[in-house]
């Protein structure tokens, strides 16, 4: 039993300088711990509600004082002095206190901060690392570390929409360890930075997650430039290092068409375009290739591409068990992008993770574009046996906190990185 003796919260700033929530939790007989929640920019419509103050005079309405206050005045009195046997018991109480389907009363940011702070406090109380606690929660014996997928180029909502697609990520498929994967990524990041400085005359301006974000002439140029940078770094595209792409297509889907380039594409043409990319570039994972509500075409995308790469749903699934069940039944994807703040508690996110696993799907555990220096995501990805981890680029401390935590976990456990997927052409 874990008895919560103290719970508090603080409004802090995330990597975009916007407010977010940090919870402080102390269990009886143990020191206090904190947990901070991230925040998305290219959000799915079905995500849980992030409570913002809406006061235009402060942080343009983005303040989190109300969410903090909800922890102090609603959650704190309901849980302090209470004993909880496990995470699910605490999360159930949080869900009940909120009472809405999308956490809009207390705010998913308030609820999740408490959910994670409790997990960290319980791990501390049991004297085990956080990843081991997450593994215990999931009933998993951890045998591997997740594959890295690391942001190289950014467009879409993370980079002022100078290019339509959002993230081009590197997947160091031949790296046997996290350590080797990071070194390989560094090599390509450097050649890519030099390449775009020559090609686009660009200073090293970076997008929200640290990706390089010049004025690409089009989305496909992002893929071609990434492959060129791999070669310039002396690496074999597809064999040693591959690509993952977050198309984030909901954000350029308007009036039934995808506005990817100059000619609007209907869903069938968009699938054909993506097939062309998969043929021409070594893509191993394709995220949100279609828009979140383009339900009737996702099964076609999966049928055409599912055998050669991961058809990954982010905005499409929103870590929501109901959407996931529907997508599994429709064979609409082959992998789940898991972001705990899309649903609001660890228990619900774990349910989504387990549903995906039971269906034979892979799971990519992901950060958000607005992050904090908290590193729990690395422990979560290891503890829940994520096949991939998506953190962002290798340049900013809110990202590096997680990469550095992975390095520490690798050193501590000596575990191998999960077998690499077969790369494309």
Judge whether 298 and 21 are in contact, CB under 8 Å. Answer: no
Which is nearer to ligand 2PG, 187 or 248 (by Cβ)? 248
Write down the least CB distance from residue 383 to ligand 2PG, Å: 20
Residue 9 backbone phi and psi in degrees, to 5: -150, 160
Q: Is 275 a catalytic residue?
A: no
Write down the least CB distance from residue 20 to ligand 2PG, Å: 12
CA distance 310 to 284: 6
Which is nearer to Mg ion, 314 or 375 (by Cβ)? 314
Which is nearer to ligand 2PG, 40 or 321 (by Cβ)? 40
Tell me, by CB under 6 A, how many residues bind ligand 2PG: 13
State yes or no: residue 41 binds ligand 2PG (CB under 6 A).
Answer: yes
Which is nearer to Mg ion, 246 or 387 (by Cβ)? 246
Which is nearer to ligand 2PG, 43 or 76 (by Cβ)? 43
Residue 133 backbone phi and psi in degrees, to 5: -65, -45
In sequence order, the 6+-apart residues with CB closer than 8 A to the CB of 21 are 9, 10, 11, 12, 36, 37, 64, 67, 68, 71, 107, 109, 110, 113
* Residue showing the smallest CB distance to ligand 2PG in the complex: 40
State yes or no: residue 246 binds ligand 2PG (CB under 6 A).
Answer: yes
In sequence order, the 6+-apart residues with CB closer than 8 A to the CB of 368 are 38, 39, 40, 41, 339, 341
Rule CB under 5 A: which residues touch Mg ion? 246, 314
In sequence order, the 6+-apart residues with CB closer than 8 A to the CB of 47 are 40, 102, 108, 318, 341, 342, 343
State yes or no: residue 42 binds ligand 2PG (CB under 6 A).
Answer: yes
Choices 257-265, 316-324, 365-373, 416-424; region in contact with ligand 2PG by CB under 6 A: 365-373
Q: Comparing C-alpha atoms, which of 68, 66, 74 is closest to residue 93?
A: 74
Q: Would you give the DSSP letter of residue 255?
A: T
Choices 173-181, 193-201, 230-238, 364-372; region in contact with ligand 2PG by CB under 6 A: 364-372
Q: Is 103 a catalytic residue?
A: no
Annotated catalytic residue within 157, 339, 390, 402: 339
Tokens of residue 58, six digits: 């402060």
Question: What's the burial of 7, exposed, middle or buried (CB within 10 Å: 0-12/13-18/19+)?
Answer: buried
Cα separations in angstroms, 18 against 52, 272, 303: 11, 39, 40
State yes or no: residue 314 binds ligand 2PG (CB under 6 A).
Answer: yes
Site for ligand 2PG in 320-339 (CB under 6 A): none
Choices 39-47, 48-56, 73-81, 170-178; region in contact with ligand 2PG by CB under 6 A: 39-47
CA distance 135 to 128: 11
Write down the least CB distance from residue 137 to Mg ion, Å: 25
State yes or no: residue 369 binds ligand 2PG (CB under 6 A).
Answer: yes
CA distance 297 to 197: 38
Which is nearer to ligand 2PG, 246 or 294 (by Cβ)? 246
Choices 57-65, 363-371, 373-381, 396-404; region in contact with ligand 2PG by CB under 6 A: 363-371
Choices 2-10, 272-280, 362-370, 408-416; region in contact with ligand 2PG by CB under 6 A: 362-370
Catalytic sites, residue numbers: 209, 339
Residues making contact with ligand 2PG (CB under 6 A): 40-43, 166-167, 209, 246, 248, 314, 366, 368-369
């Amino acid at each position: 039993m874990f008895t919560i003796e103290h719970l508090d919260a603080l409004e802090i700033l995330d990597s975009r300088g916007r407010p977010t929530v940090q919870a402080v939790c102390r269990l009886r007989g143990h020191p206090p711990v904190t947990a901070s929640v991230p925040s998305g920019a290219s959000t799915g419509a079905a995500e849980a509600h992030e409570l913002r103050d809406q006061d235009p005079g402060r942080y343009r309405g983005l303040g989190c004082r109300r969410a903090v206050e909800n922890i102090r005045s609603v959650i704190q009195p309901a849980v302090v002095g209470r004993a909880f046997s496990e995470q699910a018991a605490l999360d159930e109480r949080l869900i009940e206190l909120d009472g809405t389907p999308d956490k809009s009363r207390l705010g998913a940011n308030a609820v999740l901060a408490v959910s994670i702070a409790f997990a960290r406090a319980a791990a501390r109380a049991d004297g085990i690392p956080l990843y081991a606690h997450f593994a215990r929660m999931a009933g998993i014996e951890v045998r591997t570390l997740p594959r890295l997928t690391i942001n190289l180029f950014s467009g879409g909502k993370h980079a002022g929409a100078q290019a339509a697609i959002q993230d081009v990520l590197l997947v160091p498929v031949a790296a046997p360890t996290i350590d080797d994967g990071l070194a390989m990524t560094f090599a390509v990041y450097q050649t890519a930075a030099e390449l775009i400085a020559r090609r686009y005359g660009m200073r090293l301006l970076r997008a929200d997650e640290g990706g390089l974000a010049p004025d690409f002439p089009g989305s496909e140029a992002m893929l071609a430039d990434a492959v060129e940078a791999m070669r310039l770094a002396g690496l074999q595209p597809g064999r040693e290092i591959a690509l993952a792409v977050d198309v984030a297509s909901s954000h350029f889907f308007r009036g039934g068409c995808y506005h990817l380039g100059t000619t609007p594409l209907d869903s069938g043409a968009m699938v054909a375009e993506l097939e062309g990319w998969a043929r021409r570039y070594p893509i191993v994972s394709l995220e949100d290739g279609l828009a979140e509500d383009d339900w009737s075409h996702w099964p076609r995308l999966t049928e055409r591409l599912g055998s050669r790469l991961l058809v990954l749903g982010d905005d499409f699934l929103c870590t929501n068990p109901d959407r996931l069940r529907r997508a599994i039944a429709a064979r609409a994807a082959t992998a789940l992008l898991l972001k705990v703040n899309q649903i609001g508690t660890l228990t619900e996110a774990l349910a989504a993770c387990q549903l995906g696993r039971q269906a034979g799907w892979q799971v990519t555990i992901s950060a958000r574009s607005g992050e904090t220096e908290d590193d729990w995501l690395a422990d979560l990805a290891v503890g829940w046996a994520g096949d991939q981890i998506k953190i962002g680029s290798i340049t900013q401390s809110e990202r590096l906190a997680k990469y550095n935590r992975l390095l520490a976990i690798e050193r501590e456990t000596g575990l191998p990185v999960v077998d690499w997927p077969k790369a494309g052409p």
